[in-house]
Amino acid sequence: MILLNIVIIDNWPDFTAERLSRLKKLGKVTWNKVQMLPQEKFLELAKDAGILMTSHYAVSKITREMLDKMPKLKMIAQLATGYDYLDLKAATAKGIIVSNVPGYGDSSVAEHALGLMLALSKKIMNGMCQMRIQGKYDFRENKGFELNGKTLGLVGYGHTGRALGVIAKGLGMRVMAYDKRITSEVEYADFETVLKQCDVISLHVPLTDETRNMFSMKEFNKMKKNAIIINTARAPIVNQDDLYKALKEGIIGGYAGDLVIEPFNAKDPLLQLHNVVFTPHIAWYTNEAVSRLTEIAVRNVEAFAEKNPMNVVNKQ
């Protein structure tokens, strides 16, 4: 086995004693329980790492210049599925293996997406805020709509989209999906059809140059007037300025997101609208998902040490 200096930089993962013990069998382990460091502070902790275990919760970007200052780095073991904060091309060019943790939160995120759908369609947050903040107890301002019989459009049909589709069918919804991959288990439609026909559109695509601002005023204008968007993917997939205008002017019916554009701004005008629901990036954050994530991340490091890396996202 390869014995390397393993540096963990993140304050949220719940590594059990057993999993930390397994890492310590592979080399020295330093766990820095910190969050959102400036790049120079992050580098101070990571500069001598042979294996770096981290995620976008620890630093906003890992750039080519930062990787140049980590000369001993052989592997980045992502404590997440997404890696859009990391210069993957630079890591690949430097021979650094990058692994991720796919599928650990499929059920958690799909269930959260359902919760957001229900919160919007049943005006749950509006009713709660009226009682708690305004001291009002009045049903007349909170007429919702049933999901049964409505059409759900899944933009992206990976593991999470598939899991949500199963739940939605159980509610009596028609489910269609837009994805580059074709499968017979769901009704496939092009993007235009999803925009025009769906009552609910749920986003399950990664953030890439292609998907950034995938939803802007052009797309909102093609949607049903009362349609709602559920976003448990990444906030920049939806153009935030256009979203505010579309919601304010009633071009679409509502929006629910599990995250906002970072850094968080409590005075963001989107948060002041009545037809939105936001949560602080907690869709994945369940006991079960965190346990699966840390287990798979440890296995990724063990597999690398055994010279048989797994879940590699930048195969050399």
For residue 243, give its domain range.
106-278
Per-residue pLDDT band at 98 (split at 50, 70, 90): very high
Give the pTM: 0.90
Q: Would you call 56 a catalytic residue per the annotation? A: no
Each residue of 254-290: pLDDT tens digit? Answer: 999 999 988 889 999 999 999 999 999 999 999 999 9
Query: What's the confidence (pLDDT) of residue 233?
Result: 95
> What three-state secondary structure class fits 130?
helix
Q: Is 104 helix (H, G, I), strand (E, B) or coil?
A: coil
Same domain, yes or no, for 22 and 135?
Answer: no
pLDDT of residue 69: 97
Question: What DSSP character marks residue 151?
Answer: E
Average pLDDT over residues 95-121: 97
**Coil, helix or strand at residue 287:** helix
Residue 312 lies in a domain: no
Residues 53 and 152 in one domain: no
Q: What is the mean pLDDT of the chain?
A: 95
Same domain, 131 and 234: yes
Task: Say whether pLDDT at 143 is over 80.
Answer: yes
In a domain, 316, yes or no: no
Q: Which two tokens stand for residue 97?
A: 């293996």
pLDDT of residue 272: 93
Residue 193 domain-assigned (yes or no): yes
Q: Is residue 147 helix, strand or coil?
A: coil
Query: Distances from the Cα of 135 to the Cαs of 130, 277, 278, in angstroms?
Result: 6, 20, 22
Q: Write out the two tokens for 26.
A: 């592979």
Residues 82 and 121 in one domain: no
pLDDT at res. 185:
80
Determine which one of 19, 162, 204, 281 is catalytic.
281
Gyration radius of the chain over CA positions: 21
Q: Residues 193, 266: one domain?
A: yes
Cα(101)–Cα(259) distance, integer angstroms? 20
> Does pLDDT of 1 surpass 60?
no
* CATH code, domain with 294: 3.40.50.720
Termini Cα distance of the chain:
20
223 within domain boundaries: yes
Residue 298: helix, strand or coil by DSSP?
helix
Residues 140 and 75 both lie in one domain: no
Domain identity same for 129 and 97: no
% of the chain beyond a pLDDT of 90: 90
**Distance between CA 42 and CA 56 in Å, rounded?**
12
Specify burial of residue 77 (Cβ count, 10 A radius: 0-12, 13-18, 19+). Answer: buried
1 within some domain: no
Please tell me whether residues 97 and 164 are part of one structural domain.
Answer: no
Residues 188-193, mean pLDDT to the nearest whole number: 96
Decide if 245 is inside a domain: yes
* Within a domain: 310: no
Q: 47 and 134: one domain?
A: no
Q: Which of 262, 274, 288, 306 is catalytic?
A: 262
| pLDDT of res. 13 | 77
Which residue is catalytic, options 56, 112, 162, 234? 234
The helix (H) or strand (E) run that includes residue 277 is strand 276-278
Q: Residue 309: its pLDDT value, please? A: 97
Q: What is the pLDDT of residues 9-56, one digit of tens each?
A: 998 878 999 999 999 999 999 999 999 999 999 999 999 999 999 999
Total domain count, the chain: 2
pLDDT tens column, 289-309: 999 999 999 999 999 999 999
Interval 59-81 mean pLDDT:
96
- As a three-state string, the secondary structure of 15-81 is CCHHHHHHHHCCCCEEEECCCCECHHHHHHHHCCCCEEEECCCCECCECHHHHHCCCCCCEEEECCC
Tens of pLDDT, residue by residue over 147-180, are 999 999 999 999 999 999 999 999 999 999 999 8
pLDDT band at residue 315 under the 50/70/90 scheme: confident
In a domain, 315, yes or no: no
**76 and 130 belong to one structural domain:** no
Taking phi over 0 as left and psi of -120 to 50 as alpha, with beta for the rest, 92 belongs to alpha
Q: Assess whether 37 and 84 both reside in one domain.
A: yes
Q: Which ranges in the chain belong to alpha helices (H)?
A: 17-24, 39-46, 64-68, 88-93, 106-121, 124-129, 159-170, 191-197, 217-220, 240-248, 287-305
Whether 234 sits among the annotated catalytic residues: the reply is yes
Tell me the C-alpha distance between 244 and 269, whole Å: 8
Q: Is 262 a catalytic residue?
A: yes
Residues 147 and 113 in one domain: yes
